[in-house]
Structures are given as structure tokens and as C-alpha cells.
């Protein structure tokens, strides 16, 4: 991974660290929070404890929600266990993460987090 990508991800994670998950005001924010705290790992859909998580992941691919690149794979494709290999896993592509995109999704929450300190 290039240094600039690593720096952008680390800066985005700094933003996430300033937010308490309970401050998230919608499910799209909660899903992005879960994906960013997963540390570039494949996350099973069942682990993202948000109602309509798959729909929120699709939202994160849209320009108005940051235009993130999110990869999808099955358990069998990843060599993991699942119900007949059908369990679905997702991963946020690191090169698509920028602090500006993260701030776009967490608009309002970041201001609340800063004013509370």
C-alpha cells in the first residue's frame, strides 16, 4: 500500500476515534464506522449489527455518501467457513478512503464530538 493511501486511512481513522459509535445519527454512519474500525479485514454481514446493513453498504458506494469502493465476497471465495460457503463478507477498499469522504458521511456528528470535549 502506498504511503499516501496509508496516511489518508490513518487520518480517517483519527476522525473515527474522535466519535463514539453511539453518536452516530443514522445507520449509514454506523455501517461506515464498523467498516473503518475493521482494519481492512473482511467483515461478515452478520457482524455489522445495523438494520438493513447491505442497503447501507450500497449507499456508501453512492457519491452523496462518499463514493467508497466496497468489495463483496462469499465465504467459499475467501476460504472461510459459512453456511455452505454462502455467508457474505464485505471490505472497504483502502484507496477509496479519504478524510474528506469520512467527514462527509459523519457531518454533524464530528461537530458534536468536538463540542463535547
pLDDT digits (tens, 9 = 90+) for 87-105: 889 999 988 998 899 989 9
Q: Where are the domains of the chain?
A: 3-115
Identify the burial level of 8 via C-beta atoms within 10 angstroms of its C-beta, where 0-12 means exposed, 13-18 middle and 19 or more buried: buried
pTM of the model: 0.80
Task: Tell me the per-residue pLDDT of 59-85, one tens digit each, with 9 for 90 and over.
Answer: 999 999 999 999 999 888 888 876 665
For the chain, the farthest-separated pair of C-alpha atoms sits apart, in whole angstroms, at 48
Amino acid at each position: 500500500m502506498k504511503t499516501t493511501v496509508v496516511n489518508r486511512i490513518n487520518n480517517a481513522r483519527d476522525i473515527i476515534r474522535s466519535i463514539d459509535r453511539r453518536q452516530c445519527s443514522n445507520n449509514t454512519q454506523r455501517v461506515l464506522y464498523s467498516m473503518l474500525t475493521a482494519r481492512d479485514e473482511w467483515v461478515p454481514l452478520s457482524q455489522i449489527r445495523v438494520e438493513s446493513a447491505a442497503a447501507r453498504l450500497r449507499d456508501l458506494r453512492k457519491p452523496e455518501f462518499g463514493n467508497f469502493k466496497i468489495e463483496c465476497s462469499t465465504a467459499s471465495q475467501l476460504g472461510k467457513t459459512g453456511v455452505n460457503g454462502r455467508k457474505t463478507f464485505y471490505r472497504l477498499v483502502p484507496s477509496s478512503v479519504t478524510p474528506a469522504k469520512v467527514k462527509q458521511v459523519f457531518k454533524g456528528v464530528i461537530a458534536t464530538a468536538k463540542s463535547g470535549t
